[in-house]
Amino acid sequence: MLNEAISMKITPSVKSHINEVDWDNLPFGKVFTDHMLVMDYNNGKWQAPEIMPFGNLSLHPATSAIHYGQSIFEGMKANKSEDGEKVILFRPDLNAKRFKESCERMCMPVIPEDVFVELIRKFTEVESNWIPSREGYSLYLRPFLFATDDFIGIRPSETYKFVIFACPVGAYYSEPVRVKIEEHYTRASRGGVGRAKTAGNYGAALYPAKQGQLQGFHQLVWTDGIEHKYIEESGTMNIVFVINGVLVTPSEESDTILRGTTKRSVIEVAESWGMKVEERQVSVEEVVNGVKDGSISEAFGAGTAATIAHIAKIGFRDEILDLPAIETRTFSNKVQKYLDDLKTGKVEDTFGWCVIV
Ligand SMILES: Cc1ncc(COP(=O)(O)O)c(C=O)c1O
């Protein structure tokens, strides 16, 4: 079915609740649109997708995703152009690729990348009136896949459910962030599932992240699982530094880091601007010394939800290291504006990254 033209049933919701939304007070991830897309996998193949009214799913208590963790997701955003004429998806092909890689790592059936993009496109088209047009707001799309066999026992499920829903959202962080370098707990180790966007990675991070929050930090900066000597990434963002004018970010070569769309875009834009970029191991020592001696002029997290999140302070053991004032951060401010402008069609898409819905 899926390699032919996708036939899609659309059952519209009886009444939209869009007029009940308080657009001036939009908490991240708590307001949901009118519809969801559902596509089941059974008998060895994907069944026809359906867009239907948003609502609860009914699950058997033995649903295997709940017990054994075969559950993956993606996060991406749709924006409207300034004149409201165009709906723009930013690099959905990279989400499709990462989703496929997560499927493979978690023994789940792959959704062909072109099909994934087309399902996202179609769903976004149906929900396009939910895309906020005010600056800094977007429609966050959450595609996810989970195992649905009602079976107790460890083996890959034979049935799955793929769902897409969406939330209109504003900024994830309202201020520059304070992060703590984590040297005890580990997010991912070599050979594990750190590169996959699988639910368990986030569940396992909750306890260490909560300890950090109790100490006044927004997020942790994870370090490698063996020696805790090298920087990896942050809770929901990749991490990027400007060191002596060079853009430096931890290499993705180890399979412990999520391959972020935002970070990749930041790197490609920086290169196109003639900036030197290094994807390599970044040691904790280099970061701590670099903040102290001023060779690190900028540090930020890069992610779909947070976009570019300036890092104001880094906690390391008993010290709090202050980074330079946000106004002085030439590169991160410029790239943030450039990416925002690309996503809303204000600048020409010379990279060919945007998909018009
Ligand atoms: C652990 C982790 N790292 C990095 C990122 C950033 O990835 P992206 O820029 O594709 O949103 C995310 C968000 O998806 C994440 O959850």
Range(s) of the domain holding residue 49:
9-15+23-170
User: pLDDT value at position 278?
Assistant: 98
Closest residue by Cα to atom 7, ligand 1, is: 260
Residue 55 has φ and ψ, to the nearest 5°, of -175, 180
Percentage of the residues of the chain whose pLDDT score is greater than 90? 90
Q: Is residue 3 part of a domain?
A: no
Q: How far apart are CA 354 and CA 357, in angstroms?
A: 9
pLDDT band at 39 (very low <50, low <70, confident <90, very high): very high
Question: For the domain that residue 42 is a member of, what is the CATH number?
Answer: 3.30.470.10
| Helix-strand-coil split of the chain, %, nearest 5 | 25, 30, 45
Average of pLDDT values for 27-37? 96
pLDDT for the residue numbered 283: 98
In a domain, 31, yes or no: yes
Q: Best mutation site among 236, 254, 256 for ligand 1, i.e. most ligand atoms within 8 A of its Cβ?
A: 236
Reported as a pLDDT band with limits 50, 70 and 90, residue 84 is confident
Distance 285 CA to ligand 1 centre (A): 24
Q: Is 14 left (phi over 0), alpha (psi -120 to 50) or beta?
A: alpha
pLDDT per residue as tens digits for the range 259-308? 999 999 999 999 999 999 999 999 999 999 999 999 999 999 999 988 89
Residues 275 and 238 in one domain: yes
Share of the chain above pLDDT 70, in %: 99
Pocket test residue of 187, 238, 249 for ligand 1, highest count of atoms within 8 A of CB? 238
How much is the pTM?
A: 0.96
With a 6 Å cutoff on the Cβ, whether 262 touches ligand 1 is yes
The pLDDT value given to residue 5: 63
Distance CA 163, CA 145 (A): 6
The answer to whether residues 142 and 219 belong to one domain is no
Pairing of strands 354-356, 296-303: unpaired
Evaluate whether 160 touches 41 at the Cβ level (below 8 Å): yes
Task: For the chain, give the mean pLDDT.
Answer: 95
- pLDDT for residue 1 is more than 50: no
Written as one string, the DSSP assignment of 176-224 is -EEEEE-SSS-S--TTSSTTS-BHHHHHHHHHHHHHHHHTT-SEEEEE-
Q: What is the CATH number of the domain that holds 266?
A: 3.20.10.10
Segment 205-221 shows an average pLDDT of 97
Residue 229's pLDDT is what? 97
